[in-house]
């Protein structure tokens, strides 16, 4: 019923019609008028979904935010626990069966922090964000966590300073060209271009002994607009706190793979692989400016320069810096609040989550998402009181400990892995919300589904559908004509693959559960990410000030929850997923070809003496090293597997659309159960119990984060990561294993197609 085929030409046409329909029309639409809205129109009493959407109140979202962000509420703080208990009470008040699940995790807090310039002049970094008279919570100094990077190693080092741009691997290749080594040095990197935890990791791998990360105004400061408090952008003393935990596995560093319960076996802190190898501290640009100004050596390459009024030099020195970090390595309790609304059948679960812990007051991150999620739960509870019971069980999760390292969600999934794999249909995550566009992330078996939801929600400012606005924005943002042409032909929103940026990680990467990440954004007038200024005053002046996008997110996520819970047939659609996986494979081939071309050309230029001839004799420079040109790799097994996947997905879609074309006649309950059981198992088939070759915690062979990108997904990481490391033989050796997984998925879909065919033949 809610699943439909992807027949592009038909759907472009249908898409035009339904993109223009109002939520009112869609909520009562029949299957014949819009395929996209078929899930609710066929299987739901039309009224409930509409009632849900109309009952969301922006003022409630504002009040939730005011309450939850009133005081600093990081892991281990009194207000973190207070918030968890308040959320628990609310879940209960709204009729959920609710409890707090507690885990005990390693959470370091700073004992001593020093960054000082010793030569050529003296300066000591203040590392303190000043309170602002206009911003009432910015003065809660006694409860604020100091500025620091959690899971930095303890250390006390003094060394010359080197500026390394964003501190990614390619930045060090540039440094090599300049003839500069960071061995024995302290590096200073600017925030941005990848996850912060990668910066100390790569610095350490290149021999640096300390790492400073600062917020350049080009990233999120005055370069973009007026700074706080006259505008919303990060002010001179604003600091981005954040975790620098290594990417080997998320969650509690002491209990990899198992829940951090009271009796769990724990590693000792010195054996925890995810603590950095070198000390790290974050700085504001006010504190970084004297350090950067004291650097000499080559002028930084053009794309390394930020927005400060200085000439950016690379060093090393003459700036000499003393960096000291000492932490309290305490075990702290975290409080996951789990609220369940039992369905008429408890055997299948639809899960929704957003974290509640913050670095400081966290009005934007995470409360703008949490406040929305709670409003959804309130209204679902209200519908239940009015007589609606979801078919499947709905579970709302307010996670603790996301900021340090996805602690709450990872420990919960590790503790409940078997049950989740047996029962979970899907997990929908949010983390924060703002004004702007809706761009969904996740697994593409839900691409058709979430596109259908987005068609039925109105954008609060333009009054077009959320779908249409995002669709048109994606055309505006496309990188070339080919991409625009492709987007114009589509009638769905592309769901982008996600890695490990938030609490969906354990669901997708460890448990093999289909995920969606839903948020609005891109039009906020500022950013105070992980600083004391991310608070109620800032959010209500510079982000979604009237909480209308909060309402839109509640309507989107809540509608998705209702449809997933009530659809007779689980609304997965595999054609978009097969299409996405085929694209990931093509990207691997392209990557190989590009590397072959690049290295062939480079080796030729080395032989010709191009680098020697073009190097400015007055400036030191080193030619890049000669590279072995990569061999051809055999992608055939993967391409054959993807062919099978495409065939099985198309077959499933065809049977489904044939049945829908007949008006989706009722299927016998036993037959429906068989198909749903098949569908429930398919996402698990993406797992391989050995996990990724160098990160065995990550079991999913298609969706995973990069070890050197963080946040961003590296689809088919088992192969791609070795290619990035120029380990061609190892990359090739992974291809058959990934292909096997794709074949397993194809077989699973074929099974579902067989059973659906049998079911619809008997349907009347
Ligand atoms: Zn967050």
What is the distance in A from the centroid of ligand 1 to the CA of 73?
Answer: 13
Cα distance between residue 623 and residue 167, in whole Å: 21
Lookup: tokens for 333: 């309790």
Give me the pLDDT at residue 620, please.
83
What is the distance in A from the centroid of ligand 1 to the CA of 127?
Answer: 22
Cβ–Cβ under 8 Å, residues 400 and 101: no
The answer, yes or no, to whether residue 29 has pLDDT greater than 80, is no
Q: Alpha helix locations (H) across 94-223? A: 169-177, 198-205, 217-220
Give the model's confidence band at 25: pLDDT under 50 very low, under 70 low, under 90 confident, else very high: very low
Cα distance between residue 153 and residue 240, in whole Å: 18
What is the distance in A from the centroid of ligand 1 to the CA of 663?
Answer: 43
Task: Give tens-digit pLDDT for 71-80.
Answer: 999 999 999 9
| SS3 assignment for 354-367 | EECCCCCCCHHHHH
What is the distance in A from the centroid of ligand 1 to the CA of 354?
Answer: 8
What is the distance in A from the centroid of ligand 1 to the CA of 101?
Answer: 20
Q: Are strands 155-163 and 320-341 parallel, antiparallel or unpaired?
A: antiparallel
Cα distance between residue 157 and residue 475, in whole Å: 50
Q: Indicate the Cα dihedral angle 554, 560, 561, 563, nearest 10°.
A: 140
What is the distance in A from the centroid of ligand 1 to the CA of 356?
Answer: 8
Cα distance between residue 669 and residue 675, in whole Å: 10
Give me the pLDDT at residue 256, please.
96
Cα distance between residue 764 and residue 659, in whole Å: 10
Cα distance between residue 655 and residue 159, in whole Å: 67
What is the distance in A from the centroid of ligand 1 to the CA of 210?
Answer: 26
What is the distance in A from the centroid of ligand 1 to the CA of 694?
Answer: 27
Average pLDDT over residues 507-518: 98
Give me the pLDDT at residue 43, please.
43
Cβ–Cβ under 8 Å, residues 240 and 232: no
What is the distance in A from the centroid of ligand 1 to the CA of 404?
Answer: 10
What is the distance in A from the centroid of ligand 1 to the CA of 266?
Answer: 26
What is the distance in A from the centroid of ligand 1 to the CA of 1?
Answer: 35
What is the distance in A from the centroid of ligand 1 to the CA of 701?
Answer: 26
Assess whether the previous peptide bond of 229 is cis (omega < 30° from 0): yes
What is the distance in A from the centroid of ligand 1 to the CA of 704?
Answer: 19
What is the distance in A from the centroid of ligand 1 to the CA of 662?
Answer: 45
Distances (CA, A) of 745 to 690, 716, 741: 17, 14, 6
Assess whether the previous peptide bond of 120 is cis (omega < 30° from 0): yes
What is the distance in A from the centroid of ligand 1 to the CA of 432?
Answer: 6
With CA atoms as reference, report the closest residue to 523 among 453, 464, 467, 473.
473
What is the distance in A from the centroid of ligand 1 to the CA of 350?
Answer: 21
The helix/strand/coil state of 257 is coil
Assess whether the previous peptide bond of 100 is cis (omega < 30° from 0): no
Give the model's confidence band at 424: pLDDT under 50 very low, under 70 low, under 90 confident, else very high: very high
What is the distance in A from the centroid of ligand 1 to the CA of 82?
Answer: 19
What is the distance in A from the centroid of ligand 1 to the CA of 514?
Answer: 20
What is the distance in A from the centroid of ligand 1 to the CA of 279?
Answer: 24
Q: CA 378 from chain center: how many Å?
A: 26
DSSP state of 301: P
Task: Give tens-digit pLDDT for 223-256.
Answer: 999 999 999 999 999 999 999 999 999 999 999 9
Q: Indicate the Cα dihedral angle 625, 631, 632, 637, nearest 10°.
A: -110
Cα distance between residue 694 and residue 679, in whole Å: 30
Q: Which residues surround ligand 1, an ion (CB under 5 A)?
A: 365-366, 431
What is the distance in A from the centroid of ligand 1 to the CA of 589?
Answer: 35
The answer, yes or no, to whether residue 11 has pLDDT greater than 60, is no
End-to-end CA distance of the chain: 14
The helix/strand/coil state of 740 is helix
Task: Give tens-digit pLDDT for 198-213.
Answer: 999 999 999 999 999 9
Cα distance between residue 207 and residue 200, in whole Å: 10
Average pLDDT over residues 382-390: 96
Give me the pLDDT at residue 762, please.
75
What is the distance in A from the centroid of ligand 1 to the CA of 723?
Answer: 31
Lookup: tokens for 600: 């062939």
CA angle at 309 for the pair 306 and 313, rounded to the nearest 5° = 60
Q: Alpha helix locations (H) across 2-152? A: 8-20, 23-27, 38-43, 46-55, 58-68, 78-93
Q: Indicate the Cα dihedral angle 707, 688, 256, 197, nearest 10°.
A: 10
Mean pLDDT across the chain, nearest whole number? 93
| SS3 assignment for 405-447 | HCHHHHHHHHHCHHHHHHHEEEEEECCCCCCEEECCEECHHHH
E strands, 129-254, are 149-150, 155-163, 186-190, 210-214, 242-243
List, as one string, the DSSP characters of 648-713: HHHHHHHHHHHHHHTT-PPPPHHHHHHHHHHHHHGGGGGB-TT-BTTBTT--BSSS-B-TTTSSBB
What is the distance in A from the centroid of ligand 1 to the CA of 337?
Answer: 16
Cα distance between residue 194 and residue 172, in whole Å: 15
The answer, yes or no, to whether residue 414 has pLDDT greater than 70, is yes
The answer, yes or no, to whether residue 6 has pLDDT greater than 90, is no
With CA atoms as reference, report the closest residue to 337 among 61, 505, 102.
102
What is the distance in A from the centroid of ligand 1 to the CA of 370?
Answer: 10
What is the distance in A from the centroid of ligand 1 to the CA of 212?
Answer: 22
Beta bridge partners of 353: 397, 429
What is the distance in A from the centroid of ligand 1 to the CA of 501?
Answer: 9
What is the distance in A from the centroid of ligand 1 to the CA of 56?
Answer: 23
What is the distance in A from the centroid of ligand 1 to the CA of 366?
Answer: 5
Task: Give tens-digit pLDDT for 311-320.
Answer: 999 999 999 9
Lookup: tokens for 12: 């472009």
The helix/strand/coil state of 458 is strand
DSSP state of 624: P
Determine what percent of the chain falls in helix, strand and coil, rounding each to the nearest 5: 45, 15, 40
What is the distance in A from the centroid of ligand 1 to the CA of 475?
Answer: 28
What is the distance in A from the centroid of ligand 1 to the CA of 534?
Answer: 12
């Amino acid at each position: 019923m809610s699943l439909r085929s992807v027949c592009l030409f038909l759907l472009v046409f249908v898409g035009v019609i339904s993109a223009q329909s109002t939520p009112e029309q869609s909520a009562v639409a029949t299957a014949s008028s819009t395929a996209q809205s078929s899930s609710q129109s066929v299987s739901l009493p039309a009224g409930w979904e509409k009632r849900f959407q109309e009952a969301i109140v922006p003022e409630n979202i504002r009040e939730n935010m005011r309450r939850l962000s009133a005081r600093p509420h990081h892991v281990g703080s009194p207000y973190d626990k207070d918030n968890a208990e308040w959320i628990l009470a609310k879940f209960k008040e709204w009729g959920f069966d609710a409890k707090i699940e507690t885990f005990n995790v390693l959470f370091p807090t700073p004992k001593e922090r020093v960054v000082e310039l010793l030569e050529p002049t003296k300066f000591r970094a203040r590392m303190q964000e000043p309170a602002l008279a206009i911003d009432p919570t910015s003065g809660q100094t006694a409860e604020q966590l100091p500025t620091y990077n959690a899971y930095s190693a303890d250390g006390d080092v003094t060394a010359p300073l080197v500026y390394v741009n964003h501190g990614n691997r390619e930045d060090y290749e540039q440094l090599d060209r300049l003839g500069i080594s960071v061995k024995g040095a302290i590096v200073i990197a600017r925030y941005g271009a990848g996850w912060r935890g990668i910066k100390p990791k790569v610095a350490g791998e290149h021999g640096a002994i300390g790492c400073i990360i600062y917020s350049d105004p080009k990233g999120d400061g005055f370069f973009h607009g007026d700074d706080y408090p006259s505008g919303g952008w990060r002010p001179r003393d604003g600091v981005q706190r954040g975790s620098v935990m290594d990417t080997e596995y998320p969650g509690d560093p002491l209990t990899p793979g198992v829940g951090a319960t009271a009796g769990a076996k724990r590693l000792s802190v010195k054996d925890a692989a995810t603590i950095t190898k070198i000390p790290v501290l974050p700085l504001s640009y006010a504190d970084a400016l004297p350090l950067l100004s004291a650097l000499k050596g080559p002028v930084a390459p053009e794309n390394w320069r930020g927005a400060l009024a200085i000439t950016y030099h690379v060093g090393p020195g003459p700036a000499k810096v003393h960096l000291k970090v000492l932490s309290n390595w305490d075990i702290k309790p975290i409080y996951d609040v789990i609220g369940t609304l039992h369905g008429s059948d408890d055997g299948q679960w639809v899960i929704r989550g957003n974290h509640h812990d913050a670095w400081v007051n966290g009005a934007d991150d995470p409360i703008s998402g949490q406040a929305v999620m709670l409003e959804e739960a309130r209204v679902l509870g209200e519908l239940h009181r009015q007589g609606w019971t979801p078919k499947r069980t709905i579970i709302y999760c307010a996670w603790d400990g996301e900021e340090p390292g996805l602690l709450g969600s990872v420990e919960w999934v590790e503790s409940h892995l078997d049950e989740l794999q047996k029962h979970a249909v899907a997990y929908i995550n949010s983390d924060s919300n703002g004004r702007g566009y809706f761009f969904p992330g996740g697994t593409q078996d839900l691409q058709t589904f979430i596109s259908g939801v987005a068609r039925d929600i109105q954008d609060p400012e333009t009054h077009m559908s959320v779908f249409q606005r995002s669709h048109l924005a994606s055309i505006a943002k496309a990188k070339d004509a080919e991409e625009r042409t492709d987007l114009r032909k589509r009638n769905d929103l592309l769901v982008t693959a996600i890695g490990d940026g938030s609490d969906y990680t354990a669901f997708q990467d460890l448990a093999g559960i289909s995920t969606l990440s839903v948020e609005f954004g891109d039009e906020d007038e500022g950013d105070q990410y992980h600083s004391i200024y991310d608070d109620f005053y800032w959010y209500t002046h510079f982000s979604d000030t009237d909480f209308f996008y909060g309402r839109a997110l509640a309507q989107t996520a809540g509608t998705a929850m209702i449809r997933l819970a009530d659809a007779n047939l689980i609304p997965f659609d595999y054609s978009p997923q097969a299409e996405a996986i085929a694209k990931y494979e093509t990207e691997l081939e392209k990557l190989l070809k590009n590397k072959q071309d690049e290295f062939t050309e480079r080796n030729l230029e080395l032989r010709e003496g191009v680098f020697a001839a073009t190097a400015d004799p007055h400036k030191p420079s080193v030619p890049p090293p000669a590279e072995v040109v990569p061999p051809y790799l055999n992608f055939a097994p993967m391409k054959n597997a993807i062919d099978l996947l495409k065939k099985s997905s198309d077959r499933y879609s065809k049977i489904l659309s044939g049945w829908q074309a007949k008006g989706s006649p009722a299927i016998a309950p036993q037959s429906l159960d068989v198909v749903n059981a098949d569908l429930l198992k398919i996402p698990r088939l993406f797992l391989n119990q050995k996990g990724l070759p160098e990160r065995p915690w990550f079991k999913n062979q298609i969706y995973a984060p990069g070890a050197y990108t963080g946040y961003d997904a590296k689809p088919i990481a088992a192969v791609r990561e070795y290619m990035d490391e120029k380990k061609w033989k190892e990359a090739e050796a992974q291809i058959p294993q990934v292909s096997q997984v794709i074949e397993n998925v194809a077989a699973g879909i074929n099974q579902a197609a067989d059973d659906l065919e049998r079911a619809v033949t008997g349907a009347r």
